[in-house]
Structure 1
């Protein structure tokens, strides 16, 4: 039995149960995590990618994108603590709009990077990820659809976790405890005694 897989199964089932019981809390947690990620991304953009190519227009767009990322991220983390009831939905929509704008700005910078012979695969993955998360954020805050999707995801995670735990338990090695243990030496002595 793989203890790591067993632990993963329990954790997956617990997360699924959490999504089923309290989808609203998950949305809040998700928004805060995205806010933290946006701040980190903004700092990275300002520190590392602004000077990749010598182009004033590129530098301006990357700077705007980095500052926007930091500001929206900080709002996502701090604002819901101040205005708890309305802020979660508002911040989810704000993050979704930010991700769409950021993807468009980044798509423009990708064309500039590509023309200068810089690898763009990572940036393309980031653009598509931003678009997918934006769509999720537009869907999640609406009470009926968002909660339904989160609960559905919770059911899938709960079932997967329980299935993984059951498989690990079912495939555990069989341990047989013998009634008595005889060594070869004891067996030889017993045979000699019988012969005498």
Structure 2
């Protein structure tokens, strides 16, 4: 078994968070680019789980490495759970997140506080060389803010307000965000799953 784990993402913002949280694993965690892999997996699943598992399995089959893949997104209750699994493609593949965020704020302009409930969801799947697949889920509950605030994070962070913290996830330090975020939760659960897998390997 190679001493590396490929994380199936081309998002460098995600890789910073991923490497920070998984840094104490006995395997080096590398991005697809760092591993020299250029594969586009069609995300045609109907759930975060289906998409994450499909990405991890397809790339693991081609590389023979342990592969992690995530599917994550924002679910807005006022929008019947949209954008959900289409979060990255909401408003168009090339639309900036400034525009995506404003589109959501515009959709919720008449929504009262409790109607603005939302959550970030992250599912991470692991595909192993022996064919085993495991997956975990992390979520963080919050509300859609009245306006975008903060310059940290990425994506929908400027409009996602966490009442317990009194700010958006874009206003948090990287350490605070990693401690409570959906991706941080899922990564720590996956780290436990990986360690359990390694313990039973010959």
Q: TM-score, normalized by length of structure 2?
A: 0.28
Q: Greater share of helix residues, 1 or 2?
A: 1
- Largest Rg, 1 or 2: 1
Question: Larger relative contact order (C-alpha < 8 A, sep ≥ 6)?
Answer: 1
Q: Greater share of strand residues, 1 or 2?
A: 2
